[in-house]
Structure formats: C-alpha cells, structure tokens
Amino acid sequence: MTRSFLQGHSDPTVQPVPASVVERVDAADTTLQNPKWAVISIGSNLGNRLETLQGAVDALEDTPGVRVKAVSPVYETEPWGVEPGSQPSYFNAVVVLKTTLPPASLLERAHAVEEAFNRVRDERWGPRTLDVDIVSYADVTSDDPHLTLPHPRAHERAFVLAPWHDVDPQAQLPGRGTVATLLASVTREGVEARADLELRLPE
C-alpha cells in the first residue's frame, strides 16, 4: 500500500493504519484483477449515526470486488441546503477503496447499502439514515445523469473535501484539481472534526 494516506500526516487526530491491517488488506488485493481507486462519501443524520456509518463501511468491504483501503475521521456537519436548525446534524466520512466493479455496479451497491439502512428518498434535502455517494472513480469523468463523475458538487462541499484530505493529502478530484486547493477555497463553517469518534477499518 503505497498511497500517501496510509503513511499518516501531521494531523494528530488521524491515526496510522497498523502494519498488521496493511498486510491483511494487501493480501486481500490479490483477489482483485485490475482494480480501480474510488472515493465514497457517507453521511447520516438520523438514528445512531456513528453505528450506521460503521455499518456502511463494513457493507462496502463485504461487497465482492471491493476492498476498503482507508476510512477518514468523522466530521459533524450542519445539513446542506435546508433552514438552519430544521434537521439534526450529520456525521460524515470518506471511504477510499479499490474495486473491480464498474461505476454503474458500484452505484447499485451504494444504493443497496442505503436501502439496507432504510434510506427514504421522498425529499431532496430531507434527513436520511444513510447517504452513500460516489465522489470519484479512478480518473473517469462522465456527464451521465444517472451517475455523474466526479460527483458534481463534491468540489464545493467541505464535508467531503476535509475528510478526503485527511486520508489522502495529495488527492486529486478529476477535472477540478487538488483536494487541498479546493478545500482552501470553500468555507468550513458548520463542518467540525469529531476527534472523539472513530470508524474502524474492516479487518
């Protein structure tokens, strides 16, 4: 595992991945043929938010053709696009994975994971038990309305960029530039790191 997010960085709230876990994940990679890197954003503002996010991470890892490589710190975020105080705050995180699934199949799995946690899609900016979005998939860019890649609003959302930058400070959002530069250009108001919370990398 040579990616920079597995080597740690200066943020003291981000813990290095134990060598034993690195070895197990690398061994699991041998089951993947020509895998692609993908970045997934997960969020929840209903129920046991941390438990739900951990369940989403575990469900992604349990997907054939998917190996979770890194999980970001947890951020608490004010809801996007709604009146302040009208909804509970979100817990958000980013998952970096390798997959042999094509983008459309990964999207189907993301929706299946949401549905397993009783996601309801009645309201565009409504509260939800779980939101699972594909932020980027390799260097793929696509205007397909069913799955736009990279995610069309990721570049302006600190609750995506901040946790992604934590696990991969050198990350690039295809067509938009470095995550570090994008993060510096957006407001982080209402997006706070929760050092007291942690998501586990699946074993």
Given 3, 24, 58, 119, which residue is catalytic? 119
Helix (H, G, I), strand (E, B) or coil at 55: helix
Q: How many CB atoms lie within 10 A of CB 168?
A: 23
- The set of residues, in sequence order, having a beta carbon less than 8 Å from that of 70 and lying 6+ positions away, is 3, 5, 6, 17, 95, 96, 167, 168, 201
End-to-end alpha carbon distance in the chain: 15
Q: For the chain, what is the radius of gyration of the CA atoms? A: 16
Given 49, 67, 109, 131, which residue is catalytic? 131
Cα 185 from chain centroid? 20
Comparing CA positions, the residue from 62, 50, 69, 55 lying closest to residue 6 is 69
Is 176 considered catalytic here?
A: no
Is 119 considered catalytic here?
A: yes
Given 49, 67, 109, 133, which residue is catalytic? 133
Is 128 considered catalytic here?
A: yes
Q: How many CB atoms lie within 10 A of CB 67?
A: 19
The span from the CA of 58 to the CA of 41, in Å, is 14
Given 49, 67, 109, 128, which residue is catalytic? 128
Output the CA torsion 137→174→114→86 (10° steps).
170
Comparing CA positions, the residue from 29, 49, 74 lying closest to residue 196 is 74
Is 194 considered catalytic here?
A: no
Known catalytic residues are: 119, 128, 131, 133
